[in-house]
């Protein structure tokens, strides 16, 4: 089974960048399996794609994420 590594490094954040929310979600799932880390995708503030963060999920409805 292949992992889903980030494809790029974000020049702004220096983090691994996924090109879509779906890929970021897959990456988060992989990390959870490998390292027991709960990560969630968030959109790069500079719009380079999606990153993963281990910060707790803010209390917002999921709709907002999908609406972007
Ligand atoms: Zn970024």
How many Cα atoms within 13 Å fall on the side-chain side of residue 61? 3
Structure tokens at 15: 């983090």
Q: Does pTM surpass 0.85?
A: no
Contact between 16 and 5 under an 8 Å Cβ cutoff? The reply is yes
Ligand 1 centroid to residue 22 C-alpha, Å: 17
What are the domain boundaries of the chain? 8-67
The helix or strand, by DSSP H or E, that contains position 42, with its residue range, turns out to be: strand 40-43
Ligand 1 centroid to residue 35 C-alpha, Å: 22
Read off the pLDDT band of 5 (50, 70, 90): low
pLDDT tens-digit profile of 12-62?
A: 999 999 999 999 999 999 999 999 989 999 999 999 999 999 977 666 666
Ligand 1 centroid to residue 53 C-alpha, Å: 11
- Model pLDDT, residue 27: 94
């Amino acid at each position: 089974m292949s992992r889903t590594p980030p494809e790029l490094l974000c020049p702004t954040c220096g983090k691994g960048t996924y090109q879509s929310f779906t890929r970021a979600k897959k990456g988060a799932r992989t990390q959870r399996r490998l390292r027991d880390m709960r990560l969630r995708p968030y959109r790069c503030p500079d719009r380079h794609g999606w990153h993963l963060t281990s910060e707790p999920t803010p209390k917002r409805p999921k709709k907002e994420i999908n609406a972007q």
